[in-house]
Amino acid sequence: MKTLGIIAEYNPFHNGHLYQIQKAKELTNADCVVIVMSGDFVQRGTPAWTDKYLRTKMALLNQADLVFEMPVVYASSSAETFALAGVSLLNSLGFVDMLCFGSECGDLLKLQDIATFMQHPPKDFYQTITSYTAKGFSFPLARKKAFLDCYKTSNPDTTQTSDFLNEYASILDDPNNILAIEYLKAIQTCNSPLKPVTIKRSDAGYHNTDLNAQMHLASASAIRQNFFDSHTLTQVQSYLPASVYQLLQKKNNRFPITENDFSDLLYYRLCHLNESDKDILDLSDELFFRIKKELSSYTDYRSFIEKIKTKQYTYTRISRVLLHLLLDIRQTDIFPTQGLIPFVPYARLLGFSKAKSSYLRQETKIPIITKPADGVSQICDFYESSDSSLLQAVCALYEKDLFASNLYQRVQSRVLSCPLNDEYRQKPVMLS
């Protein structure tokens, strides 16, 4: 019995995601696929296009067997934290053997080489990054330049040419390569036995908004953008598995949700911005004062991101900061238990295939939460011998998930007129 793990957002699930699962199962002979998925808010700092339960069902209809939620604190964080959380959760389940991820590169050896460098960089690596960001470069570009500066210096015995170094550095241009490197680093950090498997992406890329009519492959960004432009699912039908298209047609009152649906809530939050908020995750002093300065011209969520965006601070970075302000996610929320309890201390089950439900009865290193209302008591029972302050931190982490989902559901209900149960009364999606 082999079990394959995938960390994803499925925002929404498309043909490329189905290809990844099918190809990974073919390469590994896995008979169970476990997904760790972002909940109602995603890594680029935005609300998901549709709710986590509908996205869970998309995955279960397309060969996923178990779907767990990544806590919102990690799901809306940097690539490094996002990857570490996903690997930690899969590792703590105890029954997952492999981690599969997409990459533009498709070369596991090159990705592992860069990951090893990043995991154990030379002393001046981060200083070099800082020197570039101080010159106005964005963090991704500063990291790439620092890599070029430091890689050859740290490998003096190699005879790498400039073409070789540029090829390696170009790997850092692509978002799925970056995530792949972070997954490989996370496996090292967790000392995890997970075997990495990478599938070369065939679509145009994470940020690309073009549709490839010949291959019927497109990024989730392209699907969302083309849906917004056309206001119809027909435009993107061929880029979705038939089961997903049919599900979305049937549940067309549950999407789309955008940042601007949260505009008034964000404005209210920013009006109360004060010195005590300086420990909000990703919020620098410079951004704090830019937000205060520009707030008088606030019109909506998206345009405000554009207004305070700079060459140094990317759209995604600003988007995450504003989301962290809205959800009150702080620096201290990232490592609440300081390594004394697994990095992700619980596994919230979003859905499962009935045929693979036996996996849920296996012994795990973290509690599996199936009923949201019972989550806190399950956590308390599982960690009853732990220090009370650690237990409180884990419960607070879980309660942020509940708050975030309830907030999303209220907005979804108001904007789309689709009343759903609040988070306390939700049940996992089960596929017979």
pLDDT in tens, the chain (432 residues): 899 999 999 999 999 999 999 999 999 999 999 999 999 999 999 999 999 999 999 999 999 999 999 999 999 999 999 999 999 999 999 999 999 999 999 999 999 999 999 999 998 999 999 999 889 888 888 988 898 888 877 766 555 667 777 788 789 899 899 999 999 999 999 999 999 999 998 655 545 556 655 567 899 999 999 999 988 999 999 999 999 999 999 999 999 999 999 999 999 999 999 999 999 999 999 999 999 999 999 999 999 999 999 888 889 999 999 999 999 999 999 987 777 789 999 999 999 999 999 999 999 999 999 999 999 999 999 999 888 989 999 999 999 999 999 999 999 999 999 988 899 999 999 999
231 belongs to an annotated ligand binding site: no
Provide the token pair at 186: 């996370």
35 belongs to an annotated ligand binding site: no
102 belongs to an annotated ligand binding site: yes
201 belongs to an annotated ligand binding site: yes
CB atoms within 10 A of CB 174: 17
The pLDDT of residue 203 is 58
| b (16+ CB within 10 A) / e for 215-243 | eebbbbbbbbbbbeeeeebeebeebbbee
286 belongs to an annotated ligand binding site: no
166 belongs to an annotated ligand binding site: no
62 belongs to an annotated ligand binding site: no
Provide the token pair at 138: 């964005």
Residue 158: what residue type?
A: T
Fold of domain 1-104+174-253+335-432: Rossmann fold (3.40.50)
The pLDDT of residue 150 is 87
Residue with tokens 């082999």: 2
Long-range contacts, stretch 387-396, CB < 8 angstroms, 24+ apart: 387/340, 390/336, 390/337, 390/340, 390/341, 393/336, 393/337, 394/336, 394/337, 394/341, 394/345, 394/346, 396/333, 396/336
The pLDDT of residue 339 is 73
191 belongs to an annotated ligand binding site: no
8 belongs to an annotated ligand binding site: yes
CA distance 194 to 28: 13
Closest CA to 90 of 12, 190, 18, 198: 190
Residue with tokens 């908020």: 277
Helix (H, G, I), strand (E, B) or coil at 53: helix
Q: Which residues contact 398 (CB under 8 A, 6 or more apart)?
A: 71, 346, 348, 369, 375, 376, 379
Q: How far is residue 124 from each of residues 120, 127, 130, 131, measured CA to CA in Å?
A: 11, 5, 10, 10
355 belongs to an annotated ligand binding site: no
User: Which H or E element spans position 430?
Assistant: strand 429-431
List the Cα angle 186/189/195 in 5-degree steps.
Answer: 55
Enumerate the domain spans of the chain.
Answer: 1-104+174-253+335-432, 110-171, 259-333
Beta bridge partners of 36: 7, 68
CA distance 348 to 427: 11
372 belongs to an annotated ligand binding site: no
252 belongs to an annotated ligand binding site: no
Q: Please answer whether residues 65 and 32 qualify as being in contact, where contact means their C-beta atoms are separated by less than 8 angstroms.
A: yes
φ/ψ (deg, to 5) at 315: -55, -45
The pLDDT of residue 364 is 97
Beta bridge partners of 352: 66, 430
| Beta strands in 108-208, from DSSP E residues, in sequence order | 195-200
367 belongs to an annotated ligand binding site: no
176 belongs to an annotated ligand binding site: yes
16 belongs to an annotated ligand binding site: yes
- Model pTM? 0.94
351 belongs to an annotated ligand binding site: no
Q: Which residues contact 108 (CB under 8 A, 6 or more apart)?
A: 196, 197, 198
The pLDDT of residue 171 is 92
CA distance 242 to 247: 9
254 belongs to an annotated ligand binding site: no
Provide the token pair at 19: 């290809």
CA distance 82 to 219: 19
